[in-house]
Amino acid sequence: MSAQTAFGAARRGGLFADEAKRLGFLMSLPAQLLLLFIVVFPLLMQIYVSLTYWGPLDGESWIYAYKSLNPLDNYGELFIDGRFWASIARTLFIVVVSVPIEFLLGLGLATLFVDQFPGRRIFYSILLMPMMIVPAVAGYMFFMLFQSNGPINDLVSRLTGLDMDFVWLSDPNLAIVAVMIADIWQWTPLMFLILLAGMMGVPEDQLRAATLLGANSWQRFWRIVLPKMKMVIIIAVVIRVVECFKIFDLLAVMTKGGPGVETETLSYYIYKLTFADLEWAYVAALGLFVLIALSLIAWAALWRLQKAQARAETQPGR
Amino acid sequence: MTGRPIFFVIRYGLILLALVIVLIPILWMGTMAFKPFPEWTTATGDLTWLPKEPTWGNFEYIFTGQTEDLLVTLDRTAERPILASLVTAVLGTAIAVIVGTLGAYAVSRFKVGNNLPLSVLQLRLFPPLAVMIPVMIMWASLGMVDTWWGLALIYGIVTLPFAFWLMKTFFDEVPIEIEEAALVEGCSRIRIFLKVTLPMVKAALASTCLFVFILNWSDYLIALLLTRKDWVTIPVYMNSLASAMGGQMYGCKAALGLIAAIPPVVFGIAIQKYLVRGLTFGALKQ
């Protein structure tokens, strides 16, 4: 191929010749194969196993799971499984309380860091540290802090003069609070980081123009900064909601789902079913149910987002 | 926002408060790692905030299995889990970054594999436990449970979305004209990728590696599910310490936690510039 035709091919549609297509195919192949390996095949296997009573102690390969075929039993059971729904409610409770607190704290911190001041860089680095700590290790930090004779009770006692001796991690009401405090400690920095980046991206000339027109800082924040940050806020909140819904490491270390089942989240309940009860077929059905529910939510959210974007495009300038 | 002293005081006051809240748990673990056994809890007196008699005993104990304060010797020391964490995190990172970079370039330049951007994202959407049954069965039947390659492979897969999206945004920013010019010079496309494009995104590639390494190093759940004994990683080993001993091994576990915490914090600060991009799958720049 002469340089001249190569150039022509490149000009017509980016780097778009046949050779390019072939190379592109080869380059994307490893990723596609990995997805096939980890998504398509396991999904089929999960559907199959979920329709049976198969368990790892059956002594037979999963291939023979059809011998205990019971098409809908597992799915019927999950609807009347109180522990499952309680674990979902608990997980949602953690998400609904922690994520908004993380958001507000992150937003507040971001407003403090939006312009330059001495020490900004070093403070910023320190404030980001919690999210870089291994979650299981962070869980252990809070396990130590929340001991009844530990530093948190000690600190509060000294500050208030009262004698605090909460048994945080074994108290049915306080255990979940302790877990949420740990989650907020670890992940507020993520909100802070993302929201600050979004806030720094708000065009300065618009803020200056608003100031000239007599807007005070409160009005600038509500009328310009927040609306401009809409996408960033959505991204930050979605990421945190998705991750918080999976919460496992922190509470696996801090409370192990206890006392009783008081801090048993969806992930932890599945973990117990898998390793303590060895009900793998039921777990497969349960997991599939969660998978479908989350896919529907994600699909609906994407669809609404696209509709909102389309509407924004047809009405320019608002 | 304004130069008025009251705002100055409020700002520094609030930041100071945030710093204290952020640092207390870290410092508690950091100092605990150097406290001798009698200072671990209040059982023998008051709560000690700073070690009265700092010691390396905790580190000695987790690496050699014995120290003067503690009677029980530790039969499984920490070197092996540290090695396991390093090997699997590094290999997992290599898999994710290599596969992700190739795929990202294919999508960014050749518009091939357009399903990839969304397909890889779904690897992050679902709670791992909801989809782990078939993975555990597969890993068992392929003999990959409790092996370094088995854990590295799954690490490479779960962090692939980050590597893919990060590299895609970096490739999207490289002006295509440079590559077209090289094409006119008679360069083959694979050479262009290796000799022209990759060197241009060198720094970004290095940050992606560190970012993905942090994620792999931070895992607890997957190692808990797919390792048993030989290749347990630091967090799994750390959590098993207490149950083997009876009674909390505060100081030793804190020492181990400190060792586990240091690499991600150092790397994280080093790649601060790219953190936002990495964590938002490239949707945002800083």
User: Cβ separation of B238 and A25 shorter than 8 Å?
Assistant: no
Q: Taking 60 as the threshold, does the pLDDT of residue A43 lie above it? A: yes
Can you list the alpha helix ranges (DSSP code H) found in chain B? Answer: 5-32, 57-64, 79-110, 116-125, 132-141, 148-158, 160-173, 176-184, 189-191, 198-200, 202-217, 221-226, 234-245, 250-270, 272-279
The Cα–Cα gap between A129 and A110 comes to 15
B92 at the A interface (CB within 8 A)? no
* Chain A neighbors of B265, CB-CB under 8 A: 129, 132-133
* Chain A neighbors of B257, CB-CB under 8 A: 134, 137, 140-141
Where residue A2 falls among pLDDT bands split at 50, 70, 90? very low
Nearest to B1 among A31, A217, A267 (CB): A217
DSSP A27: H
In a domain, B35, yes or no: no
In a domain, B255, yes or no: no
Please tell me the predicted confidence (pLDDT) of residue B180. Answer: 87
In a domain, B21, yes or no: no
**Low-confidence winner among A6-15, A205-214, B93-102 (lowest mean pLDDT):** A6-15
ipTM of the assembly?
0.90
Q: Taking 70 as the threshold, does the pLDDT of residue A315 lie above it? A: no
Please tell me the predicted confidence (pLDDT) of residue A262. Answer: 87
User: Which residues have a Cβ under 8 Å from the Cβ of A290 and sit 6 or more positions away?
Assistant: A266, B126, B127, B130
In a domain, B57, yes or no: no
C-beta of residue B97 within 8 angstroms of C-beta of residue B209: yes
Domain count, chain B: 1
Please tell me the predicted confidence (pLDDT) of residue A9. Answer: 46
Where residue B48 falls among pLDDT bands split at 50, 70, 90? confident
Burial class (CB in 10 A: 0-12, 13-18, 19+), A161: exposed
Please tell me the predicted confidence (pLDDT) of residue B27. Answer: 93
Copy the structure tokens of residue A94: 């953690």
- Chain B 59-78, residues with CB within 8 Å of chain A CB atoms: none
Please tell me the predicted confidence (pLDDT) of residue A153. Answer: 84
The Cα–Cα gap between B150 and B143 comes to 8
User: Cβ separation of B110 and A15 shorter than 8 Å?
Assistant: yes
Instruction: Supply the mean pLDDT for chain A.
Output: 86
Please tell me the predicted confidence (pLDDT) of residue B112. Answer: 86
Instruction: Count other Cβ atoms within 10 Å, centred on residue A169.
Output: 22
Tokens 């960014």 belong to which residue?
B108
pLDDT tens, A230-280?
A: 888 998 999 999 999 999 999 899 998 878 888 899 999 999 999 888 889
CA distance B88 to chain A (A): 15
Please tell me the predicted confidence (pLDDT) of residue B43. Answer: 61
In a domain, B56, yes or no: no
Copy the structure tokens of residue B45: 């007196």
Please tell me the predicted confidence (pLDDT) of residue B3. Answer: 58
Smallest CA-to-CA distance from A179 within A189, A168, A190 is with A168
User: Cβ separation of A298 and B125 shorter than 8 Å?
Assistant: yes
Where residue A8 falls among pLDDT bands split at 50, 70, 90? very low
Please tell me the predicted confidence (pLDDT) of residue B154. Answer: 95
DSSP B37: G
C-beta of residue A315 within 8 angstroms of C-beta of residue A104: no
Q: How many CB pairs under 8 A join A and B?
A: 286
Tokens 């671990």 belong to which residue?
B40
Look at chain A and count its residues: 318
In a domain, B218, yes or no: yes
pLDDT tens, A269-308?
A: 999 999 888 889 999 999 999 999 999 998 888 888 788 7
What residue spans define the domains of chain A?
83-278
Quick one: fold of A83-278?
Answer: MetI-like fold (1.10.3720)
Please tell me the predicted confidence (pLDDT) of residue B245. Answer: 53
Q: What is the DSSP string of A278-291?
A: --HHHHHHHHHHHH
Radius of gyration of chain B (CA): 24
Q: How far apart are the first and last CA of chain B?
A: 21
Peptide bond into B134 cis (omega under 30): no
User: Which residues have a Cβ under 8 Å from the Cβ of A313 and sit 6 or more positions away?
Assistant: none
DSSP B44: G
pLDDT tens, A174-200?
A: 999 999 999 999 999 999 999 999 998
The Cα–Cα gap between A114 and B56 comes to 42
pTM of the model: 0.89
Instruction: Count other Cβ atoms within 10 Å, centred on residue B205.
Output: 17
User: Cβ separation of B286 and A200 shorter than 8 Å?
Assistant: yes
Which residue type does B251 have? G
- Chain B 207-226, residues with CB within 8 Å of chain A CB atoms: 214, 217-218, 220-221, 224-225
pLDDT tens, B215-237?
A: 999 999 999 999 998 999 999 99
* Chain A neighbors of B275, CB-CB under 8 A: 128, 193
Boundaries of domain holding B153: 79-239+268-279
Q: How far apart are the first and last CA of chain A?
A: 52
User: Cβ separation of B286 and A130 shorter than 8 Å?
Assistant: no
pLDDT tens, B31-43?
A: 988 888 777 876 6
pLDDT tens, B103-151?
A: 999 999 888 888 888 888 888 888 899 899 999 999 998 999 999 999 9
Q: Taking 90 as the threshold, does the pLDDT of residue A30 lie above it? A: yes
